[in-house]
Amino acid sequence: MRWLRPLAVTALCASIAACTTSPTGRSQLLLLSDSELNEMGRQAFTQYQQELPTAGQASQRYVQCIADAIVAELPAEQQQLDWQIRVFESEQPNAFALPGGYMGVNTGMLDIATTQDQLASVIGHEIGHVLANHANERASTESATSLGLSVLSSTSGMQSAGGQQLMGVLGMGAQYGIVLPFSRAHESEADVIGLDLMAQAGFNPRESVTLWE
């Protein structure tokens, strides 16, 4: 397995070279290209549309108006995306924004976010995930974590019973110490970005507090 060592080192060096910073200045690892992410977003959005019916035109116009106001405040590079938003008939209070500019809001969310300001808080938060490349970061972190464990296994002789046991410990450490905590960081960062966007668009950020109470 000696031939795996230079390959593993090369892959790890590529991962290090892909480090960047988020809009709030937090360090990130981004391995996927924009085109790859946008295609993933398109596929997910298409599947979502196939599984759920769309809501009526009144709900669609209402949500579209708020989304347009927030999109108008995005950086020029992000405004170039063909942002699309759909309202879906579902009691589940859910909203999302995907790479490539694909957004969705369930009618169940409209029962919770009952004012324009509250809905702007939801949409701004979801767009914040896209602006901060959270989908890319999560996928990249999980990929690098798996790669790191594979490198340890191939280069450190962890094929013995004791080595396999240690791999199990490292795997659990990776799951609970690296990957899952990022989601909390992502949510906090999306909050910061979303509140800033909704304020720039003329909505009241204080309504987000009322929404999440």
> Which amino acids are annotated catalytic?
126
Q: Max CA-CA distance within the chain?
A: 64
Would you mind telling me the total number of residues written for the chain in this entry? 213
Packing angle of the helix pair 57-71, 116-131 (nearest 10 deg): 60
d(CA 132, CA 24): 8
d(CA 4, CA 162): 21
Question: CB of 101 within 8 A of CB of 80?
Answer: no
d(CA 155, CA 168): 16
Nearest to 113 by CA among 194, 42, 4, 182: 194
